[in-house]
Amino acid sequence: MQLRVGFEMVYECPQPTPMILALAIHYSRASDMVRADHLVTHPALPITTYRDLFGNWCSRITAPAGRTVITSDALINDSGQPDVVAPWVLQVPVEQLPEPTLVYLLASRYCETELLSDFAWQRFGAGPTGWARVQAVCDFVHKHIEFGYHNARRTRTAFEAYNEGVGVCRDYAHLAIALCRCLNIPARYCTGYLGDYGTAPPYGPMDFAGWFEAYLGDRWYTFDARNNTPRIGRVLIARGRDACDVALSSTFGPNTLTGFKVWADVVAGG
């Protein structure tokens, strides 16, 4: 199947404001692109790009004083298959993990493993390992946090989400990531597009989605504590230790986000 994905973000800046944008579809989906997700700005601005420490494509602009509109609109082929489920995969002992995965065992800005370790081992330590352990973490987080956009707070950490019991998709992901790391399972944060295809209405407002990947066996697997069910049409934008590494926009000056739209729709006949 084919998906149309994109966004429009509108900023008002009182002065020229440098920005770093992590909004490009991940390079791992390059062969699926039908229409590239070129970044377009109004007014037209110089754009430079680079790849960050995690391999994500980032863009740099300087928004002028006044109104700046940033958009992208892409077409991408998708298998139409749901997330992989592999209950047979095993947990890898820490001493056998590949070196690139080890950073995803450590505490990070929004995932305070040192504050959640005791709880994680008390709750999950006597249970199964491998896939079943990660799924048990997802089951717990899915039930423990009450979803609601009115509960969104960009500074909320995994430990705060655990204590408050409310949040949005990034909070589900952060808490699940932190618990997995406490249990010696590498876990990393993912952001991207995820439409409503294959789910029953009513549908909420469209936004970028947050989920996570856990390293089991010999590869990374997708998990989604917010939805807690395999989904179709997931389009990755960026990966990192937590949401701090994959912020959609990092701004270096006063600004107001006055407009925000995201779309991820199945193209009829695509």
- pLDDT tens-digit map of 29-39: 999 999 999 99
Q: How many structural domains does the chain have?
A: 2
Domain that holds residue 252: 2-80+248-266
Q: Kindly state whether residues 191 and 107 are assigned to the same domain.
A: yes
Query: Is there a single domain that holds both residue 175 and residue 76?
Result: no
- Is 20 within a domain? yes
Nearest 10 degrees: CA dihedral of 194, 229, 146, 243?
Answer: -50
What confidence score (pLDDT) does residue 270 get? 63
**33 and 109 inside one domain:** no
In a domain, 85, yes or no: no
pLDDT at 84: 97
Q: Say yes or no: 141 and 75 in one domain.
A: no
Same domain, 139 and 183: yes
Residue 86 lies in a domain: no
Residue 150 counted as domain residue: yes
pLDDT digits (tens, 9 = 90+) for 69-80: 999 999 999 999
Residues of the chain with pLDDT under 50: none
Same domain assignment for residues 213 and 144: yes
pLDDT, residue 141, reads: 98
Q: What is the domain-level CATH number for residue 132? A: 3.10.620.30
Based on the domain organization, do 6 and 110 belong to the same domain?
A: no
pLDDT of residue 251: 97
Q: Are residues 233 and 254 in the same domain?
A: no
Question: Does 126 lie in the same domain as 73?
Answer: no
Q: How far apart are the first and last CA of the chain?
A: 5
Omega within 30 of 0 (cis) for the link into 100: no
115 and 229, same domain (yes or no): yes
235 and 254 share a domain? no
Q: Do 98 and 222 belong together in one domain?
A: yes
Please report whether residue 162 resides in a domain: yes
| Residues in CB range of 262: below 8 A, 6 or more apart | 6, 7, 193, 206, 207, 208
Instruction: Specify the pLDDT at position 245.
Output: 97
Distance (Å, rounded) from C-alpha 122 to C-alpha 265? 42
Residue 87 placed within a domain: no
Residue 16 lies in a domain: yes
Here the contacts of 44-52 (C-beta below 8 Å, separation 24 or greater) are: 49/24, 52/22, 52/245
What's the CATH code of the domain at 262? 2.60.40.2250
